[in-house]
Structure 1
Amino acid sequence: MSKYRAYSDLKSIDTNWEVAPSHWTFMQLKRAVDGCKNGLWGSDPDMDDNDIVVVRVADFDRAKLTIKSSGYTLRKIEQKDREHRLLKNGDLLLEKSGGGEKTPVGQVVLFDKNFDAVTSNFVAKMTPLESHNSKFLNYMFACIYDSKLNTCSIKQNTGIQNIDSEAYLSEKFCFPPRYEQTQIAVFLDRETAKIDRLIEKQQRLIELLEEKRQAVISHAVKLSSDSQSSRLSHYVNLTTGFAFPSSEFSHNEDDIRLLRGVNVGVGNVKWRDTVYWPHDCLREFSEYILQTGDIVFGMDRPWISSGARVAMVSKHDLPSLLVQRVARLRALGGLCQAYLYLILSSNEFKSYIEADLTGVSVPHISPEQIKNFPFRVMPEKQQQAVISDTQNKLNKIDEIKSKARKCINLLMERRITLISAAVTGKIDVRDQVPQDVDEAVAS
C-alpha cells in the first residue's frame, strides 16, 4: 500500500483500531442501516402474480460481494407478506443462517438488481440510511467478515450456524462522512474491478489448461482405425466395496479408515470426512483391504466439474478398507496400472459411459459398464513410453496451473488488503478519485 498516502490528522480510539482519521465517527453498525428484516420462504410457485424471486444464500457471489446474475428461485409470497421485505437496488443482504468451517455465517453482499425480490428465511435485508453509501457499507462489511469479527456473534446449537444480528450490529466501526464514503466506494469499485479482471484471466487460463490436459490424455489412449482394441474385462481385476453398516462405524482414529465415495476426489483421495472400522474385525474383511497403487473410482456421480472421480491409492492412504459404491481396479498381465489410470481419466471413457446415463437424475456407473469399455491395446513397452511422455506433458501443465492458482490467491489477498486499508482509514484515496466524482458528491 506504499503507493497511497496516509491521512495526516489521526485520532486514537480505545479499541483494536488504535487510530483513525480524526474527522471519522466511531459508532455502532446499526446506526448505519434501517434495521435488519428477516426474510421468508413462502410456498411452491403457482405461476401467477404471487410468484416472486426469493434470494438465497446460494445466490451470493461471495467473491464479488453481490448476488449472481441467474439461477434464481421463484416462490409464492402473498402481497401482504412482501410489504416490508421487498428489496431495492442498494440494499444489503446478511447471511443469518448457514455457514461452514471455511465460510462462517455472516457474509454480507449488495443487492444491485432492479427486479422485485425478497430474501429467504436464512437471509436478512438491511437498508442503508440516507446518511451512508451502500457500496461503502458493502465493502465495510466485507472487511469485517475477513477480520472474523462476525464470529463473535455466531450461535450454533443444531449444527447450523446462526448469527445474532442484534449483537453483530452492536459492534462498532469508524465511519467517514458520506461524501468520503462515496469516494472510497468509487475508488474500490475501480481497483477491485481491475483485480477481478486479472483473476478472470487466470481462471480462464486454468480452464484452457484443463482442456489441454484432457487432450493430452485422449491422445495417449484414443483408439485409431488401425489400432488393436479389447475390453477392459480381459485386463482388469475389479471389485466393489463392502456395505459396512454405518451404525457400527468407529470414530477412533486408531482404527482402520473406510474409503467411501466421499473420499474419492479428482486425482486424489481426500480424508476430510473420515470414518473408521474396528481393527479387531479386520480379518473377516481381508478382501477389501486396499494396496498401494490400487485405482479407486467413485461410482455415484463419477464426474464432477473438475474431472473424473478416480484416484490412485498411495501409501499415505493406507491402511484402509473399500466401501460399497466405490470400485477398486488392478491391471492384469499385459496392461500397466498407470495406463489403466489414464484410460479411466479420459474423455473417451466418460463419453462411452455417459451414453448410458442420459436422463438419469443421479448418475451411477456399474462394474459391467467399466469392464465393457473398449480400449487401445499395445505392448507393455509401448505403454511405458506413452505413460512417460504423457506424464511429462501433464506435469508441465500442472506446474503452470499451480502458478496460476498461486497468482489468483495473491490477487485475492491483494483485494482483501486494499478494501481493508481503504475502509479503515489506513490509506487516503481521496486524491485517487476523478475530480468530477468529487463535484458530483459535493452537489
Structure 2
Amino acid sequence: MERYNDYKDSGIEWLGNIPKHWETFRFIDNVKLRHGYQFRDYDFTDEGIRVVKISQLDPKGNLNLTKSSFIASDRLNSFKAIRIYQDDILMALTGGTIGKIIRVGKISEPLLQNYRVGNFFPDKKKLNKTFLYFLLASQVTEEQINYLLNRNGQPNIGKESFKNMFFTLPPLKEQAQIANYLDAKTTSIDKKIKLLKQKIKHHKAYRKTLINETITKGLNGDVSSWVRFRLKDLGYLYSGLSGKSGDDFNQDDNPNNKGFIPFTNIAINTYLDKKQLGTVVIEDNEKQNQVKKNDIFFLMSSEGYEDIGKSAVLIEDLKETYLNSFCKGFRLTNKNSDASFINYLLLSDIYRQQMLVEGKGFTRINLKMEKVNNFSILIPPTKKEQQQIAAYLEAKTNTINNIVNNIETQITTLKELRKTLINEVVTGKVKVATYSQ
C-alpha cells in the first residue's frame, strides 16, 4: 500500500504525523457516548425483551444472544431511550474485556442496553459511523484506554474517560472510502479466519474420534482378552499441597521455592508441560507429596463440569515438584500397566462421561477420592500392548496437534494483519487505493 504525498504534525504525540489535509478531533466534540440502564435482579424475567450485557459482546466482534437476560415485554416503551439497533457500535466499559467493541448486525427483535455497555453515536455531519467503528477498534483507542486505566487504576471507562480522547478526522467523503475499504478487507480476513477455525474444529473432532476408537477397540479390533480393573487395583491416589496460603506461591527469589503443577497445566495438556510450572515455598520440615515420573493427575474440583476429572500424565522426571491442592495424583504400583495408555483411556469420551457423572456440587463441582479409586477401566492384559496403543496414539495425535498449531499460527498472523491494517489506514499511515489526492 502507498502513502499520502504530504504529511503534517498532528500536534498529538501518540498520533504523530497525519496526512496534510486531515484534521484531528476531540471525542466529545463529534461523538455522543450513551450508557445503558442499570437493571436490577428483580427486573429480570424468564422471557421477554433481551437485555444486552457485556457478556453478549463476543470478542470475535459479534453480538451473541445465546445466553441472554430478559425483562417483561410490556416494559419496552419505558426503555425506548436505550434500545439497540442494527449498526450500533457497542463497547464493554468495565471488566476483563474492557474496550471490547462490536458492531451490531441484523437483528429481528427489540434489544435493550445494559449498564456498562456503551453505545456510540457520531455527529453525522462530521463523522461516518462505520469509520468511527474502525477508529474505536484501532490501536489508537486501545492505547488511550490503557493509558487511562494505568493512570487511574480504575477498571472502568465512561463519558469522562472518552471526553478528551483525540482521533484523526479525514474529510467526510474520504472517511466513507476508508470505511468501505476496511469493511471489505476485514470481512475477507474474517472469512479466512472462520474457515481456518472450522479446520481446527474438524481436526480436533478427528483427534477425539481417533482416541475413542483406539482406546475402546485396540489396534486390531479385538478386546476380548482385555481385563477390567478398578483404579485402586492398579495404584493409589495421593493429595496435592496442603496448609498453603496465597502468599506461599510465586514468590520471587525465595531460596525455598520449589516447583508446583498448576491446575491449568492439567486442564489443557495430555502430557504435563514442565515449562508451565509455578513456584511454591516448601520449608525443610514440611511433609508434602512430591510428584514422580509416570504419575497421572486428576482435577478434583472445578467451577464447571468441563474440567472435572480431567487427567494428564507426567512422562519425564521433575526435580522436587509438588501438586496443586485442587488435584490428586495417581501413582501406579501394578507393573503390568502403562501410565500413558491409562491416561489416554481416561481422556476418551466414554470414560470422561462416566467420570463427569461422579462430579457433585452447585457453586463448585467436586470429585470424591473414593469415586476415583473405584473407577472401573478395561485394559489390555499386557503392558506391551498398552504401550503399543499409547505410542500409536501419541504419533497420530502429535501429527494432528502440529497441524492445529500451524493453523492457529495462521489465525494469529491474520488477526495481527487485521489489527495493523485498521490502525495504519485510520491514522493515515497508508492510503486506500480508492482515494486520490
* TM-score under structure 2 length normalisation: 0.82
Q: Give the equivalent residue in structure 2 for 1:310.
A: 311
The within-5 A match list for 1:73-92 is 73-75=69-71, 82=79, 84-92=81-89
CA distance in 1, matches of 2:112, 2:274: 38
Deviation at 1:419, TM superposition (A): 1.1
Q: Give the equivalent residue in structure 1 for 2:200.
A: 206
Q: Give the equivalent residue in structure 2 for 1:279.
A: 283
1:131-154 Cα offsets, whole Å, 9 max, x none, are 222221111111136752211111
Q: Give the equivalent residue in structure 2 for 1:70.
A: 66
* TM-score under structure 1 length normalisation: 0.81
Deviation at 1:408, TM superposition (A): 0.5
1:314-355 Cα offsets, whole Å, 9 max, x none, are 769653433544121122211011112211222221132245
The within-5 A match list for 1:222-301 is 222-223=216-217, 226-231=224-229, 232-241=231-240, 243-244=242-243, 246=245, 249=248, 252-253=251-252, 254=254, 255-256=257-258, 259=261, 261=263, 264-267=266-269, 268=272, 276-282=280-286, 284-285=287-288, 288-301=289-302
CA distance in 2, matches of 1:292, 1:148: 46
CA distance in 2, matches of 1:358, 1:248: 30
* CA spacing shift, 1:169–1:306, aligned 2, 3 Å: farther
Q: Give the equivalent residue in structure 1 for 2:419.
A: 416
Secondary structure of 1:392's partner? helix
Gaps of 5+ in 2: none
- Say if 1:240 and 1:328, in contact at 8 Å, map to a contact too: yes
Deviation at 1:432, TM superposition (A): 8.1
CA distance in 1, matches of 2:151, 2:18: 34
Secondary structure of 1:205's partner? helix
- Say if 1:180 and 1:430, in contact at 8 Å, map to a contact too: no
Q: Give the equivalent residue in structure 2 for 1:437.
A: none
- Say if 1:39 and 1:119, in contact at 8 Å, map to a contact too: yes
Of 50, 58, 63, which residue of structure 1 is paired with 2:55? 58
* CA spacing shift, 1:252–1:76, aligned 2, 3 Å: farther
- Say if 1:37 and 1:126, in contact at 8 Å, map to a contact too: no
Deviation at 1:215, TM superposition (A): 2.3
* CA spacing shift, 1:387–1:140, aligned 2, 3 Å: same
Which residue identity is paired with 2:181? F
- Say if 2:35 and 2:115, in contact at 8 Å, map to a contact too: no
- Structure 2 residue 146 is the aligned partner of structure 1 residue 151: yes
CA distance in 1, matches of 2:137, 2:93: 15
| Identity percentage of aligned residues | 20
Deviation at 1:309, TM superposition (A): 3.2
Q: Give the equivalent residue in structure 1 for 2:185.
A: 191
1:243-268 Cα offsets, whole Å, 9 max, x none, are 53648855634334554645532214
Deviation at 1:35, TM superposition (A): 3.8
Q: Give the equivalent residue in structure 1 for 2:130.
A: 135
Secondary structure of 2:207's partner? helix
CA distance in 1, matches of 2:276, 2:115: 30
Deviation at 1:183, TM superposition (A): 2.0
CA distance in 2, matches of 1:14, 1:92: 28
Deviation at 1:415, TM superposition (A): 0.8
The within-5 A match list for 1:394-409 is 394-409=397-412
Q: Give the equivalent residue in structure 2 for 1:440.
A: none
1:386-426 Cα offsets, whole Å, 9 max, x none, are 22222111111111111001000011111111111221222
CA distance in 2, matches of 1:429, 1:316: 56
Which shows bigger deviation, 181-190 or 265-274?
265-274
CA distance in 2, matches of 1:302, 1:87: 33
Alignment root-mean-square deviation, CA = 3.6
- Say if 1:156 and 1:162, in contact at 8 Å, map to a contact too: no
Secondary structure of 1:97's partner? coil
Secondary structure of 2:236's partner? strand
Q: Give the equivalent residue in structure 2 for 1:441.
A: none
Which residue identity is paired with 2:67? G
CA distance in 2, matches of 1:410, 1:242: 40
